[in-house]
Amino acid sequence: MIPYILITYFITEKCKKIAYKNGKKKNPEEKPLNDLGHYYLPDLDDYHIIPDIILGLYIIAILYYGNIKLMKEMSLLMCIIFVFRSILVISTSIPDASGKCEKKKFQIGYCNDLMFSGHTATVTLISLYLMSIFPNKRNMLILGNIITYILIIASKNHYTIDVLVGSYVSTTLYFLRDKILR
């Protein structure tokens, strides 16, 4: 499991650098795309760290309540998700959602590292596993996901489509996990 995680990490980091070189560095005048989420939601760019904190809470919860089998399974799915994400990140350069392309304090991602949202994919996958552990907390976890998605969009970390695709990819892999991980 550890070698897969390390390989995935190195692939992801390399692809982030390639995305930056092919994006903002080549085209410094690129403007953000029009996004309904950015248009209708308040600008929470100054609070970009909140989705990171929420993600951290989800990770702590799954580490505390999960078992080894669940952690192995989830880690392998995360590796698949992030390798797929890396392919998408370098295949098409999407302009930085904030329009500033500046490294923010404690920021995990970077400019042009957008399609799809890794935060969304991770929060979604962890919450699906938590739902399997605590079926009675399902509505609370769904509400937590929705709030996290809105905060990711409102803080201009991602476009709405990045969040929707991240959620879709994680949900699909979760429900296909028995076929994928045979």
What confidence tier does 109 reach under pLDDT thresholds 50, 70, 90? Answer: low
| Sign of the torsion angle spanned by Cα atoms 162, 166, 169, 172 | negative
Both tokens of 158, joined, read 């991602």
Distance between CA atoms of residues 86 and 91, nearest Å: 9
What confidence tier does 107 reach under pLDDT thresholds 50, 70, 90? Answer: low
Domain assignment of residue 168, given as a range: 2-180
Per cent of the chain over pLDDT 90 is 39
pLDDT tens for 112-147 read 677 888 899 999 999 999 999 999 999 999 999 999
pLDDT at 28 over 70: no
CA-nearest of 149, 150, 106, 107 to 124 is: 149
Whether 45 and 157 have beta carbons less than 8 Å apart is answered as no
Res 127: pLDDT: 95
Predicted TM-score (pTM) of the model is 0.86
- Cα 168 to its chain centre, rounded Å, is 11
pLDDT tens for 50-78 read 888 888 999 999 999 988 999 999 999 99
Q: What is the count of structural domains for the chain?
A: 1
pLDDT at 79 over 60: yes
